[in-house]
A = this chain, B = another copy of it.
Amino acid sequence: MRLATLSNGQPDGCLIVVSRDAQRQLPADGIAATLQQAIEQWNSVEPALRQLADRLAQGDGDALDESRLLAPLPRAWQWLDGSAFPQHGELMQKAFDLPPIETDRPLMYQGLSDRFLSGTQDVALPSEADGIDFEGEFGVITDAVPMGTSAEDALSHIKLVLLINDWSLRAIAPIEMKTGFGWVQAKPACSVAPFAVTPDELGEAWQDGRVHLPLEVHVNGAWFGNPHGGEMAFGFHELVAHAARTRDLVAGTIIGSGTVSNANFAEVGSCCLSERRAIEMIEQGAPRTSFLKFGDQVDLAVVRENQSPFGQINQHVVAAKF
């Protein structure tokens, strides 16, 4: 099942169910007005939402206007982003001669969640000098997760899967990281592809709490990378359990994987400029790829069985107006 949020002038938009070919939709009004409402009472509303999906599969529904789609959750009460791909960490440490992060625990920070940009919205940032970068990653939305939930039990709390662009400012990130406090300025609002999908929608590509599909990245129309989501050191269920160790997770919590990265990066490329620059530093002694300039375009997509389960992110970076 694929869910999306249609702009209706309200902050949370309104919930719709979308056909597998992304051509048609049925409104979920009468079941749940918004995705946040749906996730708060998932077990009771899911059957009715799936009935709409069944009707769509049979050809029912209205034409979908993709230009009206917001992020599935245009705002959320909690966004916790991991960094679960060890290859990414290793490359960054090697390039910058950093000590390895000594931990056997998942890496995770709490980020800005009061707004998530849609997949087509311009990304307004204050300065090219901040080192504007993207991070292609997967994410999940959970229902309410009680404190102390085990990783095994956490799997059933993962209700929806997302494709996310975690915008990052690389000139600020190491300065903030060095304080130990995590990132505030270096992590502006993320963008989210339009469709939130139930794990079963991904078929056998959803395994061990991981999305075993390549994430295709293009920058200004040129191929940049397509590493797959299978090489997470911790599955999403383990990230959920980590987050719930000392807190109840509110329904609608979004948890991210961190930049997707694979051991065979030489063939599959990267999901962020920073990682490609690190590879260039290691292999060629200096970074050759620039960070983004205003006007640059970043496209993220996942293709499975000739369809795009999450829809696409096609965005431009622009100068914020003051």
A binding-site residues for B, Cβ under 8 Å:
75, 77-78, 80, 83, 101-103, 105, 107-115, 124-126, 130, 146-148, 169, 172, 175, 177-186, 188-189, 242-243, 245-248, 250, 253, 320, 322
A110 near B108 with CB under 8 A, answer no
B147 near A107 with CB under 8 A, answer no
Taking each of A102, A130, A184, A322, which has the highest tally of chain B beta carbons within 10 Å of its own beta carbon? A184
**How many angstroms from the CA of A130 to the CA of B247 in the assembled complex?**
13
B246 near A188 with CB under 8 A, answer yes
7 contacts between A and B (CB under 8 A): A108-B181, A109-B182, A110-B183, A126-B246, A169-B246, A178-B180, A180-B182
**How many angstroms from the CA of A146 to the CA of B126 in the assembled complex?**
11
Taking each of A105, A108, A175, A179, which has the highest tally of chain B beta carbons within 10 Å of its own beta carbon? A179
The prevalent SS among residues of A at the interface is loop
Given A80-B184, A110-B184, is A148 in contact with B320 using a C-beta cutoff of 8 Å?
Answer: yes
A175 near B103 with CB under 8 A, answer yes
**How many angstroms from the CA of A111 to the CA of B77 in the assembled complex?**
11
Kindly provide the distance from the CB of A69 to the nearest chain B CB, expressed in whole angstroms: 21
Kindly provide the distance from the CB of A109 to the nearest chain B CB, expressed in whole angstroms: 4
B107 near A179 with CB under 8 A, answer yes
A181 near B179 with CB under 8 A, answer no
A185: B residues at CB distance < 8 A: 242-243, 245-247
**How many angstroms from the CA of A56 to the CA of B101 in the assembled complex?**
56
B147 near A247 with CB under 8 A, answer no
A113 near B184 with CB under 8 A, answer no
What are the nearest 5 A-B pairs in CB distance? A182-B182, A77-B114, A177-B180, A114-B250, A109-B181
Question: Which of B75, B112, B175 contacts A247 (CB under 8 A)?
Answer: B112
B181 near A246 with CB under 8 A, answer no
In this complex, what residue of B is CB-closest to A250?
B114
Kindly provide the distance from the CB of A273 to the nearest chain B CB, expressed in whole angstroms: 17
A182 near B148 with CB under 8 A, answer no
**How many angstroms from the CA of A226 to the CA of B301 in the assembled complex?**
55
A183 near B184 with CB under 8 A, answer no
A105: B residues at CB distance < 8 A: 175
Question: Which of B78, B181, B247, B248 contacts A83 (CB under 8 A)?
Answer: B181
A248: B residues at CB distance < 8 A: 115
A102: B residues at CB distance < 8 A: 178
**How many angstroms from the CA of A107 to the CA of B180 in the assembled complex?**
9
**How many angstroms from the CA of A129 to the CA of B242 in the assembled complex?**
17
**How many angstroms from the CA of A238 to the CA of B177 in the assembled complex?**
20
